[in-house]
Amino acid sequence: MVQENWAEGPRPSFFGQLRGQRDGVGASPKSRNTTAAPSDDAETAWAQPLDEAAAESEESLLLRKEREAYVNGQFSKTFALDYGLRQVLALCVTLVLAAIFWRYVPAVELAAWLALRAAVGGWRLLRSTRHRRHPLTGPAQQAYSRQMTAMAALSGMVLGTSVLLFFGRIPASLQFACWLILAVAVTLPIHSLAFDPPRVTAYVNGLFATVLACVLFRILGPHTGLSHDMEHRHYESWFLAFPVVQWVLVLFVARRVQSNARTNFELEFYKQALIDTLADRQREAEEAVRIKNRFIATAAHDMRQPVVALSLFAEHLKEVPSDQEIVLPKVLRAAAAVGRLFESLFDLARMDNEQLQPRAERMDIAEVMRDLRDQFESLARSRGVTLRMRTVQRRLTSDPMLVRRLIGNIVSNAIKYTEPGRKVLISARHRGRHVAVEVWDQGFGIEPGELRKIFTEFYKVQGPSENHEGLGLGLSIVARLAHALHARVSVRSRPGHGTVFRLLLEADQPGAPRALVMPPPGAG
């Protein structure tokens, strides 16, 4: 059975523009079976083209995703870059506060606070070190981020509990020093902490919420004596507003730092994207120049041969007029070769300028296949290639001339790249509401890396024995004709075995087709 899983050929939204191509490997006809069927090999897929608005929207969405990935990556890199400095700062803050508390705070309370600071800091250091050595992805990375955010909040809360140890318990000058140290501990690293918004928010909120809670506890709690001090204005009541103001300011600064950094990283991303785009455009321009030069060289070569032949034939006829019967057929063949060359170039120009207007007529696919058999039988025989054909009786509405040209270009290509002694199969099959025209060859096949290029102008497949005939316009014209006829082209290939093209044409009325086997020319 024939697989339904076919790779789509190009259907340009504007003639000649191919989009969304992926590489793969395809199937080919069996080496000794004239009714070859596709194998189950993998294939090369061609994505359906999009209209301009949809393509632009998809490209914009992809660019935004790439930008966000770049910005998040820079945030993570910057956050991790200053991790060691933040740990050193946390250690210094802890040691300085412990030195201040030493003479005024009971040893048990100070030891408990130091143990909490060491436990939380040690756990965070261990987890961060392990994460740097063994990076996580997916759900594991998300779980790690949640854990570190929770530990940041806990670290801020433990630091905030230091207020219980000094507020109202040590000299006022040292209390001022402790408040200053806490301000430095939360403000100084904010420029690196801001690159992880959840973590910095959790840390700052945990710290200042705990500070306020501890201050209120020390003021309102029993046996603290601070309520008496507040009454005698040893502590101003508006002093409680200081932590709140700093809380708001720190969060504001963190958001500003993050916003400015995001803007800078986005500018870096777009700058690099612009540089990459310019480099791509330069490569494309250089490739276009190479293609143009190759085209000029090939066109000059292909034109020169028949033109030189015509000149030689004309000189020979001038000298030996009696050889007209021998020379004139050669003159006609040389003139026809030049005519075909210019016809291909003119067709390409008309299609690119959207001047090709199909004329819809009722036609029978069996008649088209019969004409193609008659047209290419002599060419195949002259090259030592066996041409086989199977078809169905099926009517459709399309442009008969363009359909013949479309299929004929594929058949001509198949014969050209098939070695003598091998076979080419042309078949028309019923496929639901469509007629599937398939062209199988037993050539050397097409490599996956070249399948994405075969429908472009002036491209010729590089094989074990490269065929230098033609300009490489045949399949480019096929892509344009298929677009003009609203047909679908599919291609599959397996290097070393051959290639198969499928053309899907919409039929008029689906019915029970009657299979026809075309007899060889001359049969009764």
What does the pLDDT read at residue 468?
47
Q: Answer whether residue 50 is part of any domain.
A: no
When comparing pLDDT for 17 and 96, which is higher? Answer: 96
Query: Given a cut of 70, is residue 286 above it in pLDDT?
Result: yes
Q: How far apart are CA 29 and CA 37, in angstroms?
A: 6
Q: Which residue has the higher pLDDT, 132 or 308?
A: 132
Of 283 and 25, the structure prediction assigns the larger pLDDT to 283
Domain count, the chain: 3
Mean pLDDT, rounded, for 51-78: 74
Query: Cα torsion at 312, 313, 318, 320 (round to 10°)?
Result: 110
Q: Which of 215, 240, 275 is the last residue of a domain?
A: 275
Query: Bigger pLDDT: 337 or 64?
Result: 64
Amino acid at 443: G
Which of 16-30, 255-269, 435-449 shows the lowest mean pLDDT across its residues? 16-30
The parent domain of residue 311 ranges over: 284-352
Q: Are residues 263 and 331 in the same domain?
A: no
DSSP 276: H
Judge if 100 and 162 occupy the same domain: yes
- From 333, 352, 371, the end of a domain falls on 352
Tell me the three state secondary structure of residue 388: strand
Find all residues with CB under 8 Å of 443, minimum gap 6, and list them.
414, 417, 418, 419, 422, 463, 498, 499
Q: For residue 21, is it within any domain?
A: no
Residue 115, class by beta-carbon neighbours within 10 Å (0-12 exposed, 13-18 middle, 19+ buried)?
A: exposed
User: Sorting pLDDT into bands at 50, 70 and 90, what band is 112?
Assistant: very high
pLDDT of 320: 78
State pLDDT tens for residues 489-522.
Answer: 888 888 888 888 888 888 876 554 444 444 444 4
Residues 366 and 500 in one domain: yes
For residue 108, being part of any structural domain is answered with yes
Q: Are residues 299 and 435 in the same domain?
A: no
**Same-domain status, 315 and 222:** no
Chain-centre distance for alpha carbon 389: 40
Q: What is the mean pLDDT of residues 339-364?
A: 69
- Say if residue 372 is in the same domain as residue 227: no
CA distance 261 to 196: 12
- Residue 335's identity, in one-letter code, is A
Name the average pLDDT for the chain: 75
Q: How far apart are CA 358 and CA 485, in angstroms?
A: 7
CA distance 332 to 324: 12
Mean pLDDT of 211-224: 77
pLDDT of residue 234: 47
**CATH code for the domain in which residue 427 is found:** 3.30.565.10
CA distances from 104 to 112, 165, 167, 180, 181 (A): 15, 9, 11, 18, 17
Which residues 6+ apart lie within 8 Å of 466 measured at CB? 460
Q: Do 388 and 345 sit in the same domain of this protein? A: no
Structure tokens of 299? 């066109």
What confidence tier does 27 reach under pLDDT thresholds 50, 70, 90? very low
- Percent of the chain past pLDDT 70, that is, above it, reads 70
Length of the chain: 524
- The C-alpha angle with vertex 463 and arms to 460 and 469, in degrees rounded to 5, equals 45
The answer to whether residue 69 is domain-embedded is: yes
